[in-house]
Structure formats: structure tokens, C-alpha cells
Amino acid sequence: MVSRSFKHLSLVVGLLSCATAFAQSAKYSGVGRAPSATEIKDWDISVGPSGKELPPGSGTAKQGAPIYAAKCAGCHGVDLMDGKGGPRLRGGEGTLTSLRIERSIGSYWGFATTVWDFINRDMPPTPVRGTLTHEEVYALTAFILSKNNIIKEDEVMDAKSLPRVKMPNREGYVPFNPVYKKDAVRPHGSY
């Protein structure tokens, strides 16, 4: 018995040292390089729900109104509702149980940071996407949230206040926090 245990032990030790050796040799020398801090900063445009990547700057609905009129109203309409090519940005409350739902920022979007991130990376589509200044993005986000009666007209949106905005439909997602479990059996209708 003793010798058998020893045998097992030595096998385990052998495997462990193999694994260590493999881990070391799995580095591929001379392939790829470290990016500079500037490269990472320039590429990393994503803003998550914590808002920790939000840049300095701020804006209010009042500051956003003229920017919206100049750069957004053409597609989304002066009242954010007539959608000439762009989707409606407000309205649709109470439609989510109907046969024709309206998913606007006010009726549906669960996170204010998503509004900031999307405007920053994608709007306006012409002449080139993603060309607004951070100040403009804060001001436009504030303007849209205000028109949806989610914040007040003079409320300042910045890296601290924006992630704290409570969106009306945040409780409307199931499950509340997304989960993934490999190999889980998901009954039809509850994917």
C-alpha cells in the first residue's frame, strides 16, 4: 500500500512539473509587442456600466439642446419622436406588453452609460462617426435623458453622476444580471 501511494505521489509530482514546463514553453517569443500607453488610451473607447472609463468633462440638457438641433434633429426629429431615418429617442412607455413594442431610451434602455458610449462611438453617422467632443457627448446625453424626464434640465452629467442615473427599465431585464454557465440545459423560452 505504501509503495502504491508513493507511486501515485510521484506521478502527481511528475505531472505538475510537466505542467510547469509546458506553461513556460507556451510563450511564443518574438511574436507580438507591448502597446504604448498612448495606443491603449486612443483605442480604448468603451465605457461600461460602472462608468470608470468615462473621461473628464460635463454637460447639461441646456448645453445639449443647440448641439442636438444642429447635429441630431435632422434624423431623430426636433421632438425626438419623428424619426426621419433615425429611431425615436423617447416615448413608448407602457408598450412593452403590447404586440407592437416601442423600445426607446426612456422606455427600454437599462443603463445611462450605454447612451453615452453609443453616442460617443457612433453618432452622428455623417460625415464621420465618433467625432463629437466628450463635452458634446455629455451634453447630448443629458439632453436626451432630460427629454425622457429621467433627469432635470439643469442636472450636470459627468463621470460621477452619469453612472448613478436610475433608468426606468433597469428592472425590466431577466435575469437581472447576465449569466453564462457552460453546458447548462436551457429550457425553450428561457434562453
Partner 1 sequence: MDEKKRGRRKFIKDSLVNTVALAGVAAGAVTTARGQGQDAVGMAPERRNAFTGRSAPSKFVKMARTMPPETPGYTPLQDMVGVITPNELHFMNTHYNLPEIDPAAHRLMIHGLVDKPMIWTMDELKRLPAVTRVHFLECNDNSAASLKGGKTAQGHGRTSCAEWTGVLLSTLLSEVGVQRGASWILAEGDDSGKHSKSIPLEKAMDDTIIAYGQNGEPLRPENGFPLRMVIPGFSGVHNIKWVRRIKLVDEPYMTKAEVASYSSVRPDGKARWFMMEMPPKSVITRPSGGQTLSGPGFHEIIGLAWSGRGAIRKVEVSADNGATWQPAALQGPVQRMAHTRFRLPWTWDGKATTLLSRCEDERGQTQPTLAELSKAWGVPADWWKQTRNPINLFNAIQPWRINADGSIENGFAFI
110 binds partner 1 (CB under 8 A): yes
Spatial distance between the Cα atoms of 87 and 60, rounded to a whole number of angstroms: 22
C-alpha dist (Å) from residue 55 to 51, 126, 146:
9, 23, 21
For residue 99, give every residue at least 6 positions away whose Cβ sits within 8 Å of its Cβ, in sequence order, or none.
none
- Select from 46, 131, 133, 149 the one that contacts partner 1 (CB under 8 A): 46
In the structure grid, which three cell numbers stand for residue 48, read together? Answer: 461600461
Q: Does 34 bind partner 1 (CB under 8 A)?
A: yes
Could you give the count of Cα atoms lying within 13 Å of 73 in the half-sphere of its Cβ?
Answer: 10
Helix H or strand E encompassing 59: strand 58-59
Of 1, 5, 50, 164, which one interacts with partner 1 (CB under 8 A)?
50
Which SS3 state, helix, strand or coil, does residue 143 take?
helix
Q: Does 188 bind partner 1 (CB under 8 A)?
A: yes
Q: How many residues does the chain have?
A: 191
CB of 103 to partner 1, least distance (A): 6
Q: Rule CB under 8 A: say whether 164 interacts with partner 1.
A: no
Nearer to partner 1, 56 or 175 (CB): 175
- Cβ pair 167, 150 in contact under 8 A: yes
- Minimal CA–CA distance to 121: which of 149, 141, 104? 141
Any contact of residue 27 with partner 1 (CB under 8 A)?
yes
Q: Are 165 and 156 in contact (CB under 8 A)?
A: no
Q: Is residue 85 a contact residue for partner 1 (CB under 8 A)?
A: no
Q: How far is the CB of 33 from partner 1 (least distance, A)?
A: 6
The count of chain residues that interact with partner 1, using the rule CB under 8 A, is 53
Task: Tell me how far, at minimum, the Cβ of 73 lies from partner 1, in Å.
Answer: 20
User: Smallest distance from the beta carbon of 123 to partner 1, in angstroms?
Assistant: 9
Given the rule CB under 8 A, which residues bind partner 1?
Answer: 26-28, 31-35, 39-40, 43-50, 96-97, 99-101, 103, 108-111, 113-114, 117-118, 121-122, 125, 129-130, 169, 172-174, 178-180, 182-183, 185-191
